[in-house]
Structure 1
Amino acid sequence: MDQENDFRDAQDAGDRLIAAHASEDPFAAAFKATRMPMIITDPRQYDNPIIFSNDAFTKLTGYSRDELIGRNCRLLQGAETDPEAIAKLRTAISEERDLSIDILNYRRDGSTFWNALFVSPVRDETGEVIYFFASQLDFTNIKSKEAELAAARHMAEQEVARRTVDLTAALTTKTALVHEVDHRVKNNLLTIASIVKLQARMTESDVVERTLMSVLNRVEALSTVQRKLLNDEDVGHFDVADFANDLATDVIGALKRTDIVLTTDLREVVVPATKASPLALIINELVGDAVRRGLRDGGGEIHLEVRRLNGHFLIRVVDTVTPVDVDREEAAFSQKMLEACLQQLRAKLERRVEGRRTEVSVTLLVKD
């Protein structure tokens, strides 16, 4: 009877949590539909039981929802699970703090998988921990060194696309749980970047290396966006000028050339967070275009400007370089990326070329 009561209490807690979010709530939809395995536990109940899990978690572990609700997460542990990892997990729970750890877990059928686990407490307005949120990532192939280049590249493309969608949807709710989902995005983008870097170092093909570095460049731009959104007190908005300054400084600094002169005219322009990713990619492509056309090889001058224009705002990049031959495939891909982002934001682009001087201006509404 006690076991039935425990199950009923955990199930009721999970039902109340989901009922608090309308069906159209991006958090509820993203939590249920995402392919990232996720669970929520209730530390206010005995033994901190699972009160909600998504379909991805069932698929990963083999346990049905009825088998999970009311039980502690230790059901995934087994004979070969590292006791030290278990101790760290218990300590983090008891001390009510975040924990990121790699741990060997067991599925319902007894098979094992390496789990990149992230656990974080969710607090109410008073600071009391009301839930623990946990996300899992099966990285067994990477752990066993069986991942190949094609799998890593596919994983990176899929993760970036999925995380971008999850991020823009989750940020609009501005709830504590949505903020925790955003936190997972940040950690996984960093994981993707690390995987791509490793594969780029290992490959012997120049073409593959260039492709991976192209992917990495855009993943890092999105990672910068995510870091700024999470560090800003107003997580629903994005400062375009602040991001542009960091990106240009990082890109130009990485070239390690003393013959590049970078100037800026950056004034605060805050836009909704839903515009953050396409705006970041637009700035990344404009600066990258100048780098490819000559800054990387012969130096030159580049000026970056961000400012308001009566309800609109302007992104302007001006460069003066000695032109060099550009990889056509890389340039074409960059152009497609730029066009897609411009279309998404309903932005307008103007390009003027006079000798060695190229000026590109992008204008769009601050608010829809």
Structure 2
Amino acid sequence: MAENNTSRRDARTAGQRLVSSHASEDPFAAAFKATRMPMLITDPHQADNPIIFCNRAFCDLTGYTSEELVGENCRLLQGPETDRRAVDTLRDAIAAERDIAVDILNYRKDGSKFWNALFVSPVRDEAGDVIYFFASQLDFTNIKSKEAELARARHLAEEEVALRTAALSEALKAKTSLVHEVDHRVKNNLLTIASIVKLQARMTRSDVVERTLMSVLNRVEALSTVQRKLLNDEDVGHFDVADFAKTLVMDVVGALKRTDIVMTTDLHEVVVPATKASPLALIVNELIGDAVRRGLSDGGGQIHVEVRRLNGHFLIRVVDTVTPVKVDEEEDAFSRKMLEACVTQLKATLERKVEGHSTDVRVTLLVKD
């Protein structure tokens, strides 16, 4: 206890000596005392580098009187939640006699916490030796509280986003599974219908009925191909017209088994919503089927299929060169009606040009990216 009193007396003496060394009219001394910024001075030549002087603002900030502070080390302001790393940083800077700026959680006399922006600088004499340490403080508890509130708000927002994202992901997963299931059932139903029509065509003795059934079968198989494409595509909501056209042409030409058919393509990816898949598939099917009926299946020839973008639109083009044969007028008329209906449904335009044995048909449709 006597040792503690001696330390306090030495610290108080050092402080008085420091003050008395400045005239009362010294503006720097007056400013130190009167400023609203909390300030203090410590003496590193005394044991434990005690506070030897502090201004009124520092007392107001901490709740201690000057008599209680002088002779104490600044660790008096530390508490249970004070960051040990900040304390170590401060201690190392003082030991190295260098400037330090650190944010540290301190405690007032009544136990309340405040965030302290602490600035400590060594004061040197003319020889460069450190004779004092000067410290100024800035209470930024309000700012820190706002940062904490923002951090909490951000955390809550991130949690909410995570929850909503998880919910949306689950909903999307369920929707995707449902769409796949529906597509799968539609595909199976189309295959069942195709099997029934094919069986009926085989059993009928009427050429007219057989041709009619095979015509129906041709369209059902085209729609079945559409469903297969949609089902196998990861993006079940969209349909690649070029990919479908390529598959359909290869299927048709392969089924004809004719070596005298020259097939060329100019196909570029054009993705459209799945709602347009069926009418677009029927358009491609009718254009290729038209070429087959007019002679491709009898005398061979050339067929060129093109799908590509064109100035904000996309183009479906089928060009064939065949030696014409007599066609079934009823089937031909039905095909044209089917084609016109699909073109009207999609608000597309249809152009047909015939020169000699060559027929060039273009269907142009507005497409959005």
What band does the TM-score fall into relative to the shorter chain? 0.5 to 0.7
How far, CA to CA, are the matches of 1:360 and 1:221 in structure 2? Answer: 19
Aligned to 2:280: 279
1:221 maps to: 222
- Name 1:249's counterpart in structure 2: 250
Query: Which SS does the other structure have where 1:323 is aligned?
Result: coil
Instruction: Please give the alpha-carbon distance, in whole angstroms, between the structure 1 residues aligned to 2:286 and 2:238.
Output: 22
User: Helix, strand or coil: the match of 1:282?
Assistant: helix
For residues 282 and 294 of structure 2, the distance between their equivalents in structure 1, rounded to whole angstroms, comes to 18
Structure 2-normalised TM-score? 0.52
Specify the SS of the correspondent of 1:177. helix
8 Å CA contact 2:179, 2:236 repeated in 1:
no
Q: Which letter does structure 2 place at the counterpart of 1:209? A: E
User: Residue 265 of structure 1: SS of its match in structure 2?
Assistant: strand
Aligned residue runs from structure 1 range 73-84, under 5 A: none
Distance 2:216 2:285 in 1: 12
Question: Among the aligned pairs, what percent are the same residue?
Answer: 84
What SS is found at the alignment partner of 1:351? Answer: strand
Which residues of structure 1 form unaligned runs of 5+? 1-123, 131-173
Once the two structures are superposed, the pairs formed by residues 97-176 of structure 1 within 5 Å of their partners are 174-176=175-177
How do 1:43-82 residues align onto structure 2 when only pairs under 5 Å count? none
Look up the SS of the partner of 1:301 in the other structure: strand
Residue in 1 that maps onto 2:236: 235
Structure 1, residues 17-43: CA drift from partner, whole Å, max 9, x if none?
xxxxxxxxxxxxxxxxxxxxxxxxxxx
TM-superposition CA deviations, 1:68-97 (whole Å, max 9, x none): xxxxxxxxxxxxxxxxxxxxxxxxxxxxxx
Counterpart CA distance in 2 for 1:315 and 1:126 is 38
Please state how far the C-alpha of 1:204 moved relative to its aligned partner: 1.0
Structure 1 residue 332 displacement after superposition? 0.3
Residue in 2 aligned with 1:165? none
Corresponding residue of 1:267? 268
CA deviation string 1:320-342 (max 9, x = no partner): 11111111000000001000000
What is the CA–CA distance in structure 2 between the aligned matches of 1:311 and 1:188, rounded to whole Å? 36
In the aligned structure 2, how far is the partner of 1:355 from the partner of 1:254? Answer: 27
Matched, 1:209 2:219: no
- Kindly tell me the number of residue pairs found equivalent between the two proteins: 201
* C-alpha distance in structure 1 between counterparts of 2:316 and 2:332, whole Å: 20
**Distance in 2 separating the partners of 1:339 and 1:231:** 29
Work out the CA distance in 2 between the residues paired with 1:258 and 1:251.
13
SS at match of 2:234: coil
Partner in structure 2 of residue 181 of structure 1? 182
Shift of the alpha carbon at 1:276? 0.2
How far 1:126 moved relative to its partner? 7.2
CA contact (8 A) 1:197 1:216 kept: yes
Task: Give the match for residue 191 of structure 2.
Answer: 190
Counterpart of 1:298 in structure 2 is: 299
CA distance in 1, matches of 2:352, 2:299: 22
Shift in Å, 1:125 = 6.0
Q: Which fold has the larger relative contact order, with Cα–Cα distance below 8 Å and residues 6 or more apart in sequence?
A: 1
8 Å Cα contact 1:260-1:295 kept in structure 2: yes
Asked if 1 retains the 8 angstrom alpha-carbon contact of 2:304 and 2:320, the reply is yes
Distance 2:203 2:220 in 1: 19
Structure 2 counterparts to residues 20-31 of structure 1, below 5 A: none
Contact 2:315 2:363 in 1 (8 A): yes
User: Hey, what does 1:349 align to over in structure 2?
Assistant: 350
Instruction: Tell me if structure 2 keeps the 8 A contact 1:272–1:367.
Output: no
Q: Residues 118-146 of structure 1: CA distance to partner in whole angstroms, max 9, x if unpaired?
A: xxxxxx9679x99xxxxxxxxxxxxxxxx
Q: What SS is found at the alignment partner of 2:215? A: helix
Once residues 329 and 285 of structure 1 are traced to their aligned partners in structure 2, the CA distance between those partners, rounded to angstroms, is 14
Task: Note the alpha carbon deviations across 1:247-276, whole angstroms, 9 max, x for none.
Answer: 011111111111110000001000110110
Give structure 2 stretches of 5+ with no counterpart.
1-167
SS in 2 for 1:192: helix
Which residues in structure 2 correspond to 1:305-324 (within 5 Å)? Answer: 305-324=306-325
For the aligned residues, what is the CA RMSD? 2.0
Amino acid at match of 1:365: L
In 1, Cα distance between equivalents of 2:169 and 2:182: 18
TM-score, L = length of structure 1: 0.53
Deviation of 1:288 after TM superposition, in Å, equals: 0.4
Q: Quick check: 1:264–1:304 contact (8 Å CA) kept in 2?
A: yes
> In structure 2, what residue type is equivalent to 1:315?
I
How far residue 365 of structure 1 moved from its aligned partner, in angstroms, is 1.1
- Cα distance between partner residues in 2 of 1:317 and 1:225: 19
CA deviation profile, 1:277-329 (whole Å, cap 9, x unmatched):
00000000000000000101111000000000122000011111111111100
CA distance in 1, matches of 2:181, 2:318: 35
Alpha-carbon distance between aligned partners in 1 of 2:254 and 2:177, rounded to the nearest angstrom: 37
Alpha carbons of structure 1 residues 353 and 126: separation in structure 2 relative to 1, 3 Å? closer
SS in 2 for 1:346: coil
Question: Does 2:358 correspond to 1:363?
Answer: no
Q: CA deviation at 1:366?
A: 1.5
Look at both structures and tell me which one has the larger radius of gyration over its CA atoms: 2
**Alpha-carbon separation, structure 2, partners of 1:195 and 1:304:** 31
Deviation (angstroms), 1:183: 1.7
SS of the residue 1:338 aligns to: helix
Matches of 2:355 and 2:258, distance apart in 1: 24
Q: Secondary structure at the match of 1:313?
A: strand
Q: Deviation of residue 179 (structure 1)? A: 3.0
